[in-house]
Structure 1
Amino acid sequence: MTHHHVSPVSRGNARKMRKAMTDAELKLWNEVRANRLMDLSFRRQMPIAGYIVDFACPDKKLIVEIDGSQHALAEVSTSDSARTAKLEALGWTILRFWNDDVIRDIDNVCQHIVIAAGLAAAPLTEELVP
């Protein structure tokens, strides 16, 4: 993976964010840390291209964002879209989950991550099963 310069301010902010994780972030971190999820290596609160992403799997260029209710606001949603576009232009795939989804259905969240990483096929829906 190519390393890019990270400003001391961003590095410090990421460090602070790692120490003050939300309940949803902590729950997901406990599922993915130490290669627990299908041997995928995740980093938390990782600076990328001037942003600090919640979780990143550099090997698969996969970012997982855990969003609180403030992300439903129009101005935050617009900012999220610009951020997503910039990161996707750099080759990253971004998955977004609501806090509530992580808290209530961590198994489904993990399944989506594994599928996005290319380690499992998407399950067939009932409509596609003969």
Structure 2
Amino acid sequence: MRTVWNQGAPSTSIPPIKEAAFERAVRLRKTMTPPERRLWSRLRAGRATGLKFRRQQVIGPYIADFYCHAARLVVEVDGARHDARGPSDQRGDAWMQREGLRVMRIPAYLVVRDPDRVAASVMERAQELVRASQSTENP
């Protein structure tokens, strides 16, 4: 089995991505839900701020809906694929937090109702996290 290294991984302790996870992420990118597509179009348009988001990003054993490496921020749109936060979501959140990532969960109906506002909130949170990390690196 071919191994794909985890690009943008938060630490070197994260194991390599198995080909199956990588292929699943590619499939998920092609079959994003309507709320995910709406949010993605706005996050992608926000690159002018210097923040780059990736969609359906493999991070360790999980696939995040969106990930900003600079902010170490994972964004999950909860809806059709994960109606209720089950044990799997809780385990994923806990794992990501142990790896030093922040997880932001957004109900799909909010993205449908006001995608611009949700995207602005995500970008604002990412910028806060980047500023906070820069201030601790350069006191």
> TM-score, normalising length from structure 2?
0.75
Between the aligned partners of 2:63 and 2:78, the Cα distance in structure 1 is 13
Q: Aligned AA for 2:100? A: G
Give the corresponding residue for 1:104.
113
Q: CA deviation at 1:29?
A: 0.7
TM-aligned CA distance change 1:104 to 1:34, over 3 Å: closer
Percent identity at matched positions?
A: 33
Q: Is the 8 A contact 2:33 2:80 kept in 1?
A: no
Report how many aligned residue pairs link the two structures: 118
1:52 to 63, 69, 83: 63
Change (3 A) 1:19 1:59: same
Conserved 8 A contact 1:14-1:46: yes
For the Cα contact (< 8 Å) 1:37–1:110, is it kept in 2? no
Counterpart contact for 1:31–1:37, Cα < 8 Å: no
TM-score, with length taken from structure 1: 0.79
Quote the Cα distance in structure 2 between the aligned partners of 1:25 and 1:91: 24
Q: Which runs of 5+ in 2 are unaligned?
A: 1-7, 130-139
Q: Deviations over 1:17-76 (max 9, x none)?
A: 000010000001100115436331000000001101100001110011001156454xx5
Tell me the equivalent position of 2:97.
88
Contact preservation (8 Å) 1:33, 1:42? yes
Unaligned runs of 5+ in 1: 121-130
The 5-angstrom pairing of residues 68-87 of structure 1 reads: 68=79, 71-73=82-84, 76-87=85-96
Q: Secondary structure at the match of 2:104?
A: strand
3-state SS of paired residue (1:117): helix
Give the superposition deviation at 1:83.
Answer: 0.8
Mean Cα displacement is larger for which, 103-112 or 20-29? 103-112
Distance 1:63 1:118 in 2: 13
RMSD: 2.2
